[in-house]
Structure 1
Amino acid sequence: MAVSKRASSSPASSGEAAFEPTRAARRHLVQPWPVAGEIGDEARGLIGEGDGVHVSDGEGNWLIDGPAGMWCVNVGHRRRELAEVLHDQAMALSYNSPWYTMNEPSARLAERIAAHAPGDLDHVFFTTGGSTAVESALRFMQFYNNVRGRPEKKVILSRGGAYHGSTFLSASLNGRPRDRDWMDGVDDLVVKLSCPDPFRRPAGMSVESFSDKLVAEFAETVERIAAERIGAFVGEPIMASGGVIVPPPDYLKRIAAICRDNDILFVSDEVVTAFGRLGEVFASQSVFGIEPDIITFAKGVTSGYFPLGGMVVSARLFDEIRRSNRSEAMYAHGLTYSSHPVGCAVALKNLDLLEGGILEHAREIAPYFQDRLKSLEELPLVGEVRGAGLMACVECVADRESRNPLTLDKEVGKRIDAHCHELGLLVRPLIHMCVMSPPLIITREQIDRMVAILHEGISRTMDDLRQEGLWNG
Structure 2
Amino acid sequence: MAAVRDLKATEMAASGGDDAIELGKRHLIQPWPHAGSVGAEARALIGEGDGIYITDSTGKRLIDGPAGMWCVNVGHRREELARVMYEQAMALSYNTPWYTMNAPSAELAMRIAGHAPGDLSHVFYTTGGSSAVETALRFMQFYNNVRGWPEKKLILSRGGAYHGSTYLSASLNGRPRDRDWMDGAEELVIKLSSPDPFRRPQGMGLAAFTDFLVDQFRDTVARVGADKIGAFVGEPVQASGGVVIPPDGYLKRIREICRDNDILYVSDEVVTGFGRLGHVFASGDVFGIDPDMITFAKGVTSGYFPLGGVIISERLLQELRRSNHPDAMFGHGLTYTSHPVGCAVALKNLDLLEESVLAHTRAVAPYFQAQLKTLEELPLVGEVRGAGLMGCVECVADRESKNPLQLDKDVGKRIDAHCHELGLLVRPLINMCVMSPPLIITREQINDMVGILREGISRTMDDLRKEGVWRG
TM-score (norm. length: structure 2): 0.97
- Structure 2 equivalent of residue 332 of structure 1: 331
- Whether the aligned pair in 2 keeps the contact of 1:121 and 1:294 (CA below 8 Å) is yes
- Structure 2 equivalent of residue 366 of structure 1: 365
- Structure 2 equivalent of residue 145 of structure 1: 144
- Whether the aligned pair in 2 keeps the contact of 1:71 and 1:437 (CA below 8 Å) is yes
Letter of the 1:372 partner, please give it: Q
Task: From the superposition, tell whether residues 224 and 378 of structure 1 become closer, same or farther in structure 2 (CA, over 3 Å).
Answer: same
- For 1:420 and 1:274, the matched residues in 2 are separated by 28
- Whether the aligned pair in 1 keeps the contact of 2:9 and 2:48 (CA below 8 Å) is no
Task: From the superposition, tell whether residues 409 and 158 of structure 1 become closer, same or farther in structure 2 (CA, over 3 Å).
Answer: farther
- For 1:160 and 1:194, the matched residues in 2 are separated by 5
Residue pairs, 1:282-321, within 5 angstroms: 282-321=281-320
Residue pairs, 1:232-381, within 5 angstroms: 232-381=231-380
- For 1:95 and 1:49, the matched residues in 2 are separated by 27
Deviation (angstroms), 1:119: 1.0
1:420 corresponds to 2:419: yes
Deviation (angstroms), 1:18: 8.8
Deviation (angstroms), 1:348: 0.1
Superposed CA deviations along residues 320-360 of structure 1, whole A, max 9, x for unmatched, are 01111011100000000000000000000000000001000
1:436 corresponds to 2:435: yes
Letter of the 1:283 partner, please give it: A
- Structure 2 equivalent of residue 72 of structure 1: 71
Letter of the 2:65 partner, please give it: G
Letter of the 1:347 partner, please give it: A
Secondary structure of the residue aligned to 2:303 is coil
- Structure 2 equivalent of residue 182 of structure 1: 181
1:399 corresponds to 2:398: yes
Superposed CA deviations along residues 8-61 of structure 1, whole A, max 9, x for unmatched, are 83439x9x9997111111110000000111111100001110000000011011
Secondary structure of the residue aligned to 2:190 is strand
Secondary structure of the residue aligned to 1:420 is helix
1:445 corresponds to 2:444: yes
- Structure 1 equivalent of residue 62 of structure 2: 63
- Structure 1 equivalent of residue 11 of structure 2: 11
Deviation (angstroms), 1:263: 0.3
Secondary structure of the residue aligned to 1:222 is helix
Letter of the 2:83 partner, please give it: E
- Whether the aligned pair in 2 keeps the contact of 1:7 and 1:60 (CA below 8 Å) is no
Deviation (angstroms), 1:177: 2.7
Task: From the superposition, tell whether residues 67 and 17 of structure 1 become closer, same or farther in structure 2 (CA, over 3 Å).
Answer: closer
Identity of aligned residues (%): 74
Tell me the C-alpha RMSD between the 2 structures.
1.6
Higher helix share: 2
- For 2:106 and 2:408, the matched residues in 1 are separated by 47
Letter of the 2:9 partner, please give it: S
- Structure 1 equivalent of residue 97 of structure 2: 98
1:167 corresponds to 2:166: yes
- Structure 1 equivalent of residue 156 of structure 2: 157
- For 2:361 and 2:67, the matched residues in 1 are separated by 14
- For 2:332 and 2:434, the matched residues in 1 are separated by 34
Task: From the superposition, tell whether residues 7 and 123 of structure 1 become closer, same or farther in structure 2 (CA, over 3 Å).
Answer: closer
- For 2:52 and 2:304, the matched residues in 1 are separated by 14
Q: Displaced runs of 4+ in structure 1, greater than 6 A?
A: 16-19
- For 2:7 and 2:451, the matched residues in 1 are separated by 27
Letter of the 2:381 partner, please give it: V
- Structure 2 equivalent of residue 390 of structure 1: 389
- For 1:8 and 1:420, the matched residues in 2 are separated by 27
- Structure 2 equivalent of residue 26 of structure 1: 25
Letter of the 1:299 partner, please give it: K
Q: Structure 2 regions of 5+ residues with no counterpart?
A: 1-5
Secondary structure of the residue aligned to 2:141 is helix
- Structure 2 equivalent of residue 3 of structure 1: none
- For 1:18 and 1:175, the matched residues in 2 are separated by 37
- Structure 2 equivalent of residue 120 of structure 1: 119
Secondary structure of the residue aligned to 1:122 is strand
Letter of the 2:243 partner, please give it: V
- For 2:442 and 2:370, the matched residues in 1 are separated by 14
- For 1:11 and 1:387, the matched residues in 2 are separated by 40
Secondary structure of the residue aligned to 1:441 is coil
Secondary structure of the residue aligned to 2:410 is helix
- For 1:127 and 1:353, the matched residues in 2 are separated by 22
- For 1:73 and 1:83, the matched residues in 2 are separated by 13
- For 2:445 and 2:408, the matched residues in 1 are separated by 29
- Structure 2 equivalent of residue 41 of structure 1: 40
- Whether the aligned pair in 2 keeps the contact of 1:8 and 1:60 (CA below 8 Å) is no
Superposed CA deviations along residues 213-236 of structure 1, whole A, max 9, x for unmatched, are 000000000000000000000000
- Structure 1 equivalent of residue 88 of structure 2: 89
Task: From the superposition, tell whether residues 385 and 233 of structure 1 become closer, same or farther in structure 2 (CA, over 3 Å).
Answer: same
Matched residue count: 466
Superposed CA deviations along residues 174-228 of structure 1, whole A, max 9, x for unmatched, are 0013100000000010000000000000111101100000000000000000000
- For 2:78 and 2:311, the matched residues in 1 are separated by 27
- For 2:94 and 2:369, the matched residues in 1 are separated by 42
Secondary structure of the residue aligned to 1:384 is strand
- For 1:129 and 1:49, the matched residues in 2 are separated by 23
Deviation (angstroms), 1:407: 2.8
- For 1:11 and 1:244, the matched residues in 2 are separated by 39
- Whether the aligned pair in 1 keeps the contact of 2:156 and 2:190 (CA below 8 Å) is yes
Letter of the 1:9 partner, please give it: A
- For 1:439 and 1:393, the matched residues in 2 are separated by 15
- For 2:113 and 2:344, the matched residues in 1 are separated by 16
TM-score (norm. length: structure 1): 0.97
Letter of the 1:144 partner, please give it: Y
- For 1:365 and 1:399, the matched residues in 2 are separated by 31
- Whether the aligned pair in 2 keeps the contact of 1:110 and 1:123 (CA below 8 Å) is yes
